[in-house]
A and B are shown apart, each in its own frame.
Chain A
Amino acid sequence: MSRLTRRNFLQVSAGLAAFSGIAGTPKEAGASPGKEALATLIDCTRCDGCVDHDVPLCVAACRERALNRIPDPVDPIPPLFPRGMIEDWSKRKDVYDRLTPYTQLFIQRADVPVDGGIRTVYLPRRCMHCDNPPCATLCPFTANHKYPDGSVVIDPDLCFGGAKCRSVCPWNIPQRQSGIGIYLEIMPTLAGNGVMFKCDLCHDRLLNQQLPLCVEACPRDAMVIGLRRDIMKEAERRAAETGGYLYGLTENGGTGTIYLSPVPFEEINKVVEKGPGRPHFDKVSRRPARASLMETSVLMSPVIGMGAGLTAAMLAVRNRVKKKGEGENDD
């Protein structure tokens, strides 16, 4: 029912058809699920925030999955030593206006002043699935990993909930639920603080050739997922066609989530509510920077050491030979 044959999956050879409501077969991606990088286009010219619904449909679908996957925390949640804030969202599962462990996707509303009036833009926010995700590369326990299909996935069985991923994420996306996870089995008071949660692009569903739930749930086809190169092309095409603006192409060195908006993101960023669980739309440069001098030096250091060792050894041998020669001459 929710196989990738739905129109929401951008067809490789007939991208336009995919957006015009004609169902087709995404042969290339469908043939090797999980192996090829995917990306998502979030078309905010189409999203209406599901204002007629109590909860936007994409948010509701995502939340349903989270509710089924996140266990109830222990009661009471162990206190932290010497300090640290317990983050318990289990009693506030119906918070929809920000990211939480249970709301891994929410709709951000931007009332942007345009030509003397106000243009309201709805922006579904979730993990950007960066090309170079610092949350994954810097996780001390490999509890967070970027897979070949482009999804960045936290393993709840390995995560200690230290929230380093949230600190290093340019948008501070991951959210913590204390009182669950592996840390309870080790030193719950001294180390760890739960499990971090964020959108994983429905990685398990993608492997089964199913669409992410949010993409599937959207009644206006505001979200499309497809092969990365096709999504990038489509985003550029739509932006050119509508005079729209794109976000996510270059942010943090490139991401797997491209937003298309009818108004500039600088203007959106000025008016959206920002703060914990409510990400910004700033320009973001990649961190750690690609091919930074420091990292390159680390990779070169064995060669530097070898070269210096070889040179010093040769000099030492030469000195010895020289000394020996001088000694013989003295004799």
Chain B
Amino acid sequence: MTDRVIEGKNLVRRHSVLELVEHWAIALSGLLLILTGLLELPIGKRYYVTEIPWFSWSGDFYTTLTIHYIAAVVFVAASFFHVFYHGLLGEGGLLPRRGDLKESIKVIKTFFGKGDEPPFEKYLPEQRLAYMGMAFIIAMLIISGLVKTYKNLLDPQLSYAVTSAATWIHNIFFVLFIAAFIAHIAALVIKPNRPMVRGIFTGTIRLDYARGRHSLWMAALERTKTPSTDDGRGGEREEVAGTGARKDGHVLPGEKPDPGNETGSERTNDKKEEL
């Protein structure tokens, strides 16, 4: 809902602050979970991790477990928040759609110089598939992790079948989680995707990139003529649709004068693509 053009700066807002917080809460706690999860294996001492400055704790399984739990609280709470918040608001732009698999293959081929990219929505089809894959991995990790925690906390004699299933699901999806994390980072290294990287740090991406590559999203965004007050600078502004000019023709302080037909205006999008 916060998607909007910030033309004076050649930017378009792609993620709200809340979404950035969600992403980084899950990402950073997830990285800590990977690290402490690895250290739950007896590797800290054997692989000299304990001898890295500030890492002497890494050989103490109770310490690593405590850190694992702290990170898990953030990870699980943020994941549940994500699903409930965006689910209740009906924001499903990252959910896979029919034909995404076929489209993804086409897009991946273009990375190797085969064919032309089709126009994209806010998210690429493979992003939607990757999201679902990651969500599934995280869901399995959370369910099995909660069972393991319950066992440690309340029921050390939980049946062998349940304990064993939870342990192995946790271990297998832990490996998949690391693989998915590496794939996630690898996707950002691919040249055409690089302009999206700043989005997850600042919430905004370049407008010219968005218009060129995410034309379906931008078309929907720019079709909408909606007043916005959420520009961080106060004041309600409105754009005359399609003209790129504001009704009042005024340029706000701190805003560059309009290069070309872009003005210091913003548009919001009613389409629910926040997820």
**Which residues in A have some Cβ–Cβ distance to B below 8 Å?**
80, 82-84, 131-133, 136-138, 140-142, 145-148, 162-164, 167-168, 191, 287-288, 290-292, 294-299, 301-302, 304-306, 308-310, 312-313, 316-317, 320, 323, 327, 330
Q: Does B190 contact A (CB under 8 A)?
A: no
- Cβ contact within 8 Å between B88 and A310: yes
Instruction: Decide: A304 near B77, CB < 8 A? Known: A142-B168, A164-B42.
Output: yes
- Asked if B79 is at the interface of the complex by the 8 Å CB criterion, the answer is yes
How many Å lie between the Cα of A298 and that of B144 in the bound state?
Answer: 12
- Known contacts: A304-B77, A309-B82. The answer to whether A299 contacts B149 by CB under 8 A is yes
Within 8 A of A (CB), among B53-93: 61-62, 65-66, 69-70, 72-85, 87-89
Decide yes or no whether B112 CB sits under 8 A from chain A: no
Can you name 13 A-B pairs with beta carbons within 8 Å?
Answer: A137-B151, A142-B160, A147-B157, A164-B61, A298-B69, A298-B72, A298-B73, A301-B74, A301-B77, A301-B80, A305-B79, A312-B18, A316-B89
Q: How far is the CA of A167 from the CA of B45 in the complex (A)?
A: 11
B residues with a Cβ closer than 8 A to A are 1, 18, 40-42, 46-48, 61-62, 65-66, 69-70, 72-85, 87-89, 142, 145-146, 149-154, 156-157, 160, 163-164, 167-168, 171, 227, 229, 236
With A131-B156, A298-B146, A302-B146 as contacts: A309 and B42 at CB distance below 8 Å: no
B77:A136 contact, CB within 8 angstroms: no
Q: Enumerate chain B residues within 8 angstroms of A168, measured Cβ to Cβ.
A: 61-62
Find out whether the CB atom of B160 lies under 8 angstroms from the CB atom of A147. yes
Contact A82 B46 (CB under 8 A): yes
Q: Is the CB of B18 within 8 A of A137?
A: no
A299 to B80, CA, bound (A): 13
| Alpha-carbon separation in the docked complex, A136 to B81 (Å) | 33
Residues from chain B with Cβ under 8 Å of A137 in the complex: 151-152, 156
Contacts of A146 in B (CB 8 A): 156-157
- Residues from chain A with a CB closer than 8 A to the CB of B46 are 80, 82-84
Q: Are B160 and A309 within 8 A (Cβ)?
A: no
Residue with the greatest number of chain A CB neighbours at <10 A, chosen from B77, B150, B167: B77
- A309 and B73 contact, CB distance less than 8 A: no
